[in-house]
Amino acid sequence: VHNRATTAIVKLEDLPTPSLILDRSRASRNVARLKSHLSRLKVPLRPHLKSSKSLELAQLLMSSPTGPATVSTVKEAEVLADAGVRDILYGVGIAPSKLLRIVALRRRGIDVIVVLDSYEQALAVVSACRDVRERIPVLIEIDSDGHRSGISPGDPQLVEIGRLLADGGAELRGVMTHAGGSYGRPGVEDLMAAAESERIAAVRCAEDLRQAGLSCDVVSVGSTPTAFFAKDLTGVTEVRAGVFVFLDLVMAGLGVCTPGDIALSVLATVIGRQEKKGWILVDAGWMAMSLDRGTEKQKTDYGFGLVCDVKGVPYPDLIVIDANQEHGILSIRSGGGSRSELPNLPVGSLVRILPNHACATAAQFDRYHVVNEISTEIVAVWPRFSGW
């Protein structure tokens, strides 16, 4: 019996399961693909680091070691600031109680920008600016597709809020929107249309602010599907996207990528079979995969994930059909070709499972085990941060 603690883990075969695996070759290709697309459109990327929550991945995604970056929690901003990032958009509508931590970061010289879509929030920001004698920069959130938050284009509140901020001592820096509705619009044509709607809403609201005599330097848009499929970004000053580094089965279902582009997977061990039912049991349940069922309403429902061999090559139509906390049940998906057979995977075999939603699956782990395509050698271990 070897002592696990003193045996160096150098290959996937040595890892405890479940473990989170990042294919760096694929991740690098995904990043290069989006950067090259945006560079053709001449718009810089402000990557959203909520998907990856890793300092090493932040450096792969950002255009410089100091940013710019987008985050979804103040905690992410704090961790990134400690690591030297200086230009951070906190992309979730500001809660007044969070302004203290934002101000603390700004006093360390970090340019943290907040987002809001209500007069109440603007009042809280203005009040904080007065209290701390600090011009907090603000982007007003625009609702470009009705899916969540933001001010609708044409709503007179936009200019009212802008004026309150400008007059009240905040810095009105611009507008931002997120075409989250694009996740429900598969196909190249629809994604291109979603990207154009996103652009038009943001640019129109920026114009409305400028015509009211207010400044609006920043016009920030983005989601992974619209970032990849935008054809024209006239008037836009930056694009945000996060999951593009990993991609996932939901993105494949939308037509953004193929399963072969997905850079994230969960390593699992076979722990049983139910022959009569055509089931294989593994030790990766929802605690490892997350409970995301994002492909359920797509054309191909992958259950809780698509199963690959240890090198990342998919078994035809083998998916995780059900999951308990630490059990995954593998079977051939209904609708899979009749030629698809349950592979011969004895107890102890290793598999890798591609996730529906990379952000949710990655969040179940505290580190990435990094490999390069085909090889099962672990070339790095990258910690993840979490919490609020």
* Residues at the interface with a copy of itself (CB under 8 A): 1-4, 16-19, 50, 72-74, 92-98, 100-101, 103-104, 116-118, 120-121, 124, 131-132, 143, 146, 148-149, 180, 269-274, 277, 281, 283, 286-288, 290-293, 322, 324-327, 329, 346-348, 359-360, 363-366, 386-388
Q: How far is the CB of 327 from a copy of itself (least distance, A)?
A: 6
Please check whether residue 233 is in contact with residue 43, taking contact to mean a CB–CB distance below 8 angstroms. Answer: yes
Closer by beta carbon to a copy of itself, 37 or else 98: 98
For every residue of 38-90, DSSP letters joined together read: HHHTT--B--BTTTT--HHHHHHHSSBTTB-EEESSHHHHHHHHHTT--EEEE
Closer by beta carbon to a copy of itself, 228 or else 286: 286
Closer by beta carbon to a copy of itself, 60 or else 287: 287
Q: How far is the CB of 64 from a copy of itself (least distance, A)?
A: 25
- For residue 117, give the nearest of 77, 167, 152, 154 by alpha carbon: 152
Q: How far is the CB of 29 from a copy of itself (least distance, A)?
A: 24
Q: How far is the CB of 384 from a copy of itself (least distance, A)?
A: 11
Please check whether residue 380 is in contact with residue 33, taking contact to mean a CB–CB distance below 8 angstroms. Answer: no
Please name the residues in contact with 40: beta carbons below 8 A apart, sequence gap of 6 or more: none
d(CA 39, CA 41): 5
Q: How far is the CB of 388 from a copy of itself (least distance, A)?
A: 5
From residue 360, give the alpha-carbon distance in Å to each of 27, 104, 292: 17, 29, 7
Please check whether residue 205 is in contact with residue 153, taking contact to mean a CB–CB distance below 8 angstroms. Answer: yes
Q: How far is the CB of 275 from a copy of itself (least distance, A)?
A: 10
Q: Which phi and psi (to 5°) does residue 239 adopt? A: -120, 135
Closer by beta carbon to a copy of itself, 134 or else 207: 134
d(CA 58, CA 110): 16
d(CA 294, CA 253): 9
d(CA 175, CA 115): 9
Q: How far is the CB of 242 from a copy of itself (least distance, A)?
A: 9
Supply 141's token pair: 């959130």
Supply 309's token pair: 């061999």
Closer by beta carbon to a copy of itself, 122 or else 306: 122
Closer by beta carbon to a copy of itself, 43 or else 143: 143
Q: How far is the CB of 213 from a copy of itself (least distance, A)?
A: 26
Closer by beta carbon to a copy of itself, 233 or else 282: 282
Closer by beta carbon to a copy of itself, 150 or else 312: 150
